[in-house]
Chains A and B, each alone.
Chain A
C-alpha cells in the first residue's frame, strides 16, 4: 500500500470503570475528542465504522453526535474488532467514495473473565460444561509450552507485567495507574499456571476514535498527519494452536497473528527493523512475550535477554506498550485496538509527554489477537 490514507485525529474516553456512564456516551466522548484533535466537525464526517461487544448498535451514537444521515456500519470481531473498523474505514477512503471518515470503538464490560455460549463459537456444549470454554486457560497453555520450548522464565513474565503497570502510571487515561513490583505480581493468586492474577488484563470500559482522510488532503487539517501504511485482519488456519479448540491436528501451522503481520509488512513495504514503537496484545504478560516473536521483532527465545536488558522499556530498543497496554488499560473489546492506534499516533507526533519514546520515532506498529483465533495488525508512519 502506498501512503494513501492518513490519520488526522485521535480521541479517547479514559479506560476503567465508570458507573452511570453508558458505552454509547463514552463513544460520543471519544468521537468529540478525535474531531477536536482533527479540527473538523461531526457534520464534515462522511462515513463511520463502529465496533463493540456489549453495545448492540454503536451507530446509535449518532443520537448524541447529530443526525447527519451518513452510512455508519457496525462491526464485531472479538478482540480484533478495532482492526476491522480501522481496516474497513481505510478501504472506504481508498475506494474513492469518501474523503473523510471515522472509526470508533466502545465497550462496557462487567468485571471477571469473559464468557459466552460455546455454541456461538461452533464449540460443543460439553466443552463449556466441563470448564474448558475459557480464554485464560488457553493463554496459560500457550505460554507454558512456549516457555519450555524456548527457555523463557516466569520471572520474565513478571518483568513484562511490571513494565506495563509502570508505563500505565504515566498515562492519565489508564485503568491501573499504580506501579506493581515483580514480587507483588508473582505473589498474586495463580489463575492458570504459570500466569498469576496481575499478569492478566481485565475486561473494563472505555472508548477510542480515529479520524481518517485521503492522504493528499491531510495537510489541510494538520502539520503532522500519520499515514496508515497497512491494516490487516486474519483468521486462523487449520493447524494453528488457537483458543477454543477442542482438538488440534498433529501438523502445526502459524497462527493468525503471524499471517496478519506478514501481510501488513508486505503491504507497507516496511520491515520489523524499521519500527520504532510497538503496541502488542498483552491479554497476559505471556502473550506480549510470544507476540514479540510472532510479529517479527525477535527470534523465539530471545525475549528472556531482551526483557532482562530493558529492551521493551520506553527508552529501550523495542519499546512495547508504552501506554501500559491491556495490562494497565484493561480491555473494552471494541475500543482496545483504537487505543493502541491512539498511543502510536501520539508517539509518532512526538507529543506523548512523559511516555515519549526518545529519538523522534517515525514508524509505529499495533497488533490485536483474540477468540476464536482472529488477529489484526496496523503499521503507521509519519
Chain B
C-alpha cells in the first residue's frame, strides 16, 4: 500500500439533497430542530475515481451535474470535550 494523492477538484457526477435528519446513530451531526439540510453527491476526480461526499450546497437550483467542485472541510459535531470535529465535503467552485 502506498499513499496516492487525488485531485482536490473534480466534477459533480450525481447528486441529491438530504432534507431530513439521517437516523442517529450512526449519524453524529446535529439532529432534531438543529438539523441543517445538506447536499450529497459523487464527485469525479479526474479519470481516477468517483467519491461520495457531502456537498456544502443543499439548494437544488444551485447544483447541476458536471459543475466543478472543490474539496473543503466543514464542522460536523463537537467531541466530549467540546472540540469541533470536522469532516470533508465538496463545494461548488464559484
* Chain B residues in 8 Å Cβ range of A145: 13-15, 65
Instruction: List residues of B (22-71) whose CB comes within 8 Å of A's CBs.
Output: 22-23, 25-29, 38, 40-42, 44, 47-52, 54, 60, 65
Specify the chain A residue showing the minimal Cβ separation from B23. Answer: A115
Judging by beta carbons under 8 Å apart, are B54 and A131 in contact? yes
Among B18, B65, B76, the residue within 8 A (CB) of A129 is: B76
Among B14, B29, B60, the residue within 8 A (CB) of A131 is: B29
Shortest beta-carbon distance, B42 to chain A, in Å? 6
Judging by beta carbons under 8 Å apart, are B18 and A134 in contact? yes
Specify the chain A residue showing the minimal Cβ separation from B25. Answer: A128
Known contacts A115-B23, A115-B26, A141-B14: A248-B49 contact under CB 8 Å: yes
Among A113, A126, A249, the residue within 8 A (CB) of B22 is: A113
* Chain A residues in 8 Å Cβ range of B50: 247-250
Shortest beta-carbon distance, A138 to chain B, in Å? 8
Among B13, B48, B87, the residue within 8 A (CB) of A130 is: B87
Shortest beta-carbon distance, A111 to chain B, in Å? 11
Judging by beta carbons under 8 Å apart, are A190 and B17 in contact? yes
* Chain B residues in 8 Å Cβ range of A193: 16-17, 19, 60
Specify the chain B residue showing the minimal Cβ separation from A241. Answer: B14
Known contacts A247-B49, A248-B50: A130-B16 contact under CB 8 Å: no
* Chain B residues in 8 Å Cβ range of A141: 14-16, 40-42
Known contacts A129-B27, A131-B22, A134-B22: A194-B51 contact under CB 8 Å: no
Does A224 interact with chain B (Cβ within 8 Å)? no
Judging by beta carbons under 8 Å apart, are A249 and B49 in contact? yes
Cα distance, A247 to B49, chains bound together (Å): 7
* Chain B residues in 8 Å Cβ range of A194: 16, 60
Does A91 interact with chain B (Cβ within 8 Å)? no
* Chain A residues in 8 Å Cβ range of B49: 247-250
Does A144 interact with chain B (Cβ within 8 Å)? yes
* Chain A residues in 8 Å Cβ range of B42: 141, 248
Specify the chain B residue showing the minimal Cβ separation from A249. Answer: B49
Does A245 interact with chain B (Cβ within 8 Å)? yes
Specify the chain A residue showing the minimal Cβ separation from B46. Answer: A250
Instruction: List residues of A (108-133) whose CB comes within 8 Å of B's CBs.
Output: 112-115, 117-118, 125-133
Specify the chain A residue showing the minimal Cβ separation from B87. Answer: A130
Known contacts A126-B87, A131-B29, A250-B48: A192-B22 contact under CB 8 Å: no
Cα distance, A22 to B50, chains bound together (Å): 43
Judging by beta carbons under 8 Å apart, are A130 and B28 in contact? yes
Known contacts A128-B25, A128-B26, A128-B27: A250-B19 contact under CB 8 Å: no
Judging by beta carbons under 8 Å apart, are A189 and B65 in contact? no
Specify the chain B residue showing the minimal Cβ separation from A250. Answer: B47
Judging by beta carbons under 8 Å apart, are B65 and A131 in contact? no
Specify the chain B residue showing the minimal Cβ separation from A114. Answer: B23
Known contacts A115-B26, A144-B14, A192-B18: A132-B60 contact under CB 8 Å: no
Judging by beta carbons under 8 Å apart, are A148 and B23 in contact? no
- Given A129-B26, A247-B51, 19 more A-B residue pairs with CB atoms under 8 Å apart are A112-B23, A117-B26, A129-B27, A129-B87, A130-B29, A130-B76, A131-B22, A131-B29, A137-B40, A141-B41, A144-B15, A145-B13, A189-B20, A194-B16, A241-B14, A245-B52, A247-B50, A247-B52, A249-B50
Cα distance, A137 to B16, chains bound together (Å): 7
Judging by beta carbons under 8 Å apart, are B76 and A144 in contact? no
* Chain A residues in 8 Å Cβ range of B13: 145
Does A191 interact with chain B (Cβ within 8 Å)? yes
* Chain B residues in 8 Å Cβ range of A247: 49-52
Instruction: List residues of A (237-273) whose CB comes within 8 Å of B's CBs.
Output: 241, 245-250
Judging by beta carbons under 8 Å apart, are A144 and B16 in contact? yes
Specify the chain A residue showing the minimal Cβ separation from B29. Answer: A131
Q: List 9 A-B contacts (CB under 8 A).
A: A117-B25, A131-B18, A148-B65, A190-B19, A192-B40, A194-B16, A241-B14, A248-B42, A249-B50
Does A142 interact with chain B (Cβ within 8 Å)? yes
